Amino acid sequence: MRNPTQAHISSSALRHNVAVLRDAAGGAPLCAVAKADAYGHGAARLAAALRGAAIPFWGVATLPEGLALRQLGVTAPILVFRPLGRYEPERESAETLDALMDADLRATVASVAGADLLARRAARRRRTARVHLKVNTGMNRNGCPAEDALSLARRIAAQPFLE
């Protein structure tokens, strides 16, 4: 049986929606989320449609998605949502962390282990790594417990090669 469901993406409608959201946000910066290949609609198509739209921030789920956006010419900051230290074994992390830093992607940190993993690698390379602290605000997905957020933020701030 053929699937009758189709998605038709209009680049002009997408740009219009960005303008509407920008106005509604009252000056707050927007984040274009391109995870899962822009939810199956094509990250390359999304990046092309939003080229010139002054998107201040992008979000992706994984490192390969962030690297793909860089290859597509996205120069704005890109946040990798998947928290460091939670899914990859440490023996595989050096290559991952190097790629993250080389592409100037922002890492999500939700644990002491993730923060320390990145801090050690950044110090070893004498290179600043940018991070975002993810705090669990109730969905119980990947964030550090709210009661640990301040101490983790201080730990991150104390690392000379983490920003």
The amino acid sitting at 142 is N
> Model-level pTM?
0.88
Interatomic CA distance for residues 67 and 100, integer angstroms: 8
Q: In what order do the strands lie in the sheet with 131-133?
A: 31-33, 57-60, 78-83, 106-109, 131-133
List, for residues 9-42, the tens digit of each pLDDT value: 888 999 999 999 999 999 899 999 999 888 888 8
Contacts of 132 (CB under 8 A, 6+ apart): 79, 106, 107, 108, 109
Q: pLDDT digit string (tens) for 52-61? A: 888 999 999 9
The pLDDT of residue 91: 61
- pLDDT of the residue at 88: 60
Q: Name the band, by pLDDT with cuts 50, 70 and 90, for residue 153.
A: very high
Residue in the block written with tokens 């050096």 = 94
Q: What integer pLDDT is reported at residue 139 of this predicted model?
A: 83
